[in-house]
Chains A and B, each alone.
Chain A
Amino acid sequence: MIFLTVGTQFPFERLIKAMDEAVALRGVGEEIFAQIGDSAYLPRNFEFAPRLKKHIFDKRIRQASSLIGHAGIGTIITALDNNKPLLVMPRRKKYHEVVNDHQVAVAKKFEKRGYILAVYAEPELPGKIAQLRTFVPWQCSIRPQKAVEIIRQYLNQLVDCSGKR
């Protein structure tokens, strides 16, 4: 199963529609399930839900062979944490899909490092879905220890200070 997710804050009809058309045209060789948010466009060629509770969302992620989504950091982190191949299409400001074009920068940065695949326009989508099947994401080691250490130290300092007062 390919799990398509576009976040729940804003709709992302351009991607949902492009996926629907890709499936209608040639199929993608796999079942698709989508979390589409408040999308006015409803897909005809695969199952979907507007919103999934976190534990159901997580279950869908675990069951999926690969993920397709917007270039939101939440989606990217989820894919990397679960070691799932991810294909993203960034939301664009010019289509009023997001407040600025940070998703394009994010997609390029993570694509370049081999963490994800990315398409920047709808016509590229079917070709990239084919690549997604064999894509092996670069294994990243998440080491938040440094940040944890900085903050813990700071909090300890505060506790010490208030203790002395």
Chain B
Amino acid sequence: MKICIVASAGGHLSQLLKIADCWRGHEIFCITTSELVVSELQRYGKVYTVPECNRRHPVEVAKVFADCVKTILCERPQVVISTGAAVGCIECILGYVTGAKIVWIDSIANVNALSLSGRIIRYIADVFIVQWPELAEKYRKTRFARIAV
């Protein structure tokens, strides 16, 4: 299957790469937010980068969104796997509307509540993993499994 793995550079990506075993044997392409990590990701497949963006900069978000639309239409993944943040959220939504299955792992940084992205993606995710047992109790249809730390 063709799988898109997507995460912002930094903590989100470090967490995602901890579970690299799960996509072994599939065709992979990656989307991230910094050139600094491209070489690390190339071992899995083709790498796309988009600028960093967050909820404070809606114009940037719109630009990234346009980039992501292009990538998803060009690649047409069957599954999107992400740990966030904004770019992961955007890619999951686009994946969903183009028929891909969505696997979301909410970052361990979200200790007391799901991330904003997580709260959105929960409605469209096929697999939704949280990393604190309290969160699995708090939110329906989530499963607890630690990937980081």
Contact = CB atoms under 8 A, between A and B. Distances in A.
Interface of A: 7-9, 51-55, 57, 72-78, 80, 99, 102-103, 105-106, 109-110, 115, 140, 142-144, 146-148, 150-152, 154-155, 158-159, 162
Given A8-B36, A54-B37, A144 B146 contact: yes
Contacts of B147: 144, 147
Which of B9, B146, B149 has the most chain A CB atoms inside 10 A of its CB? Answer: B149
Interface of B: 1, 3, 8-15, 18-19, 21-23, 26, 34, 36-37, 39-40, 52, 54-56, 78-79, 81, 101, 103, 105, 107-112, 126-127, 129, 143, 145-149
B111 A106 contact: yes
B39 A54 contact: yes
A110 B40 CA distance: 27
A30 to B, nearest CB: 26
A73 B107 contact: yes
7 contacts: A8-B10, A73-B14, A99-B56, A144-B19, A148-B19, A150-B127, A155-B22
Given A54-B37, A76-B149, A99 B111 contact: no
Nearest to B81: A151
Given A54-B39, A73-B11, A74-B14, A146 B145 contact: yes
Given A75-B11, A102-B110, 13 more contacts: A52-B36, A57-B36, A73-B14, A74-B14, A77-B18, A115-B149, A142-B18, A144-B147, A147-B146, A147-B147, A148-B19, A148-B21, A155-B26
Contacts of B22: 147-148, 151-152, 155
Which of B14, B78, B129 has the most chain A CB atoms inside 10 A of its CB? Answer: B14
A161 B78 CA distance: 13
B149 A142 contact: yes
Nearest to B115: A102
A143 B103 CA distance: 19
Contacts of A99: 54-56
Given A55-B39, A73-B109, A159-B1, A144 B129 contact: no
Contacts of A147: 19, 22, 105, 129, 145-147
Contact of A9 (B10, B101, B149): B10
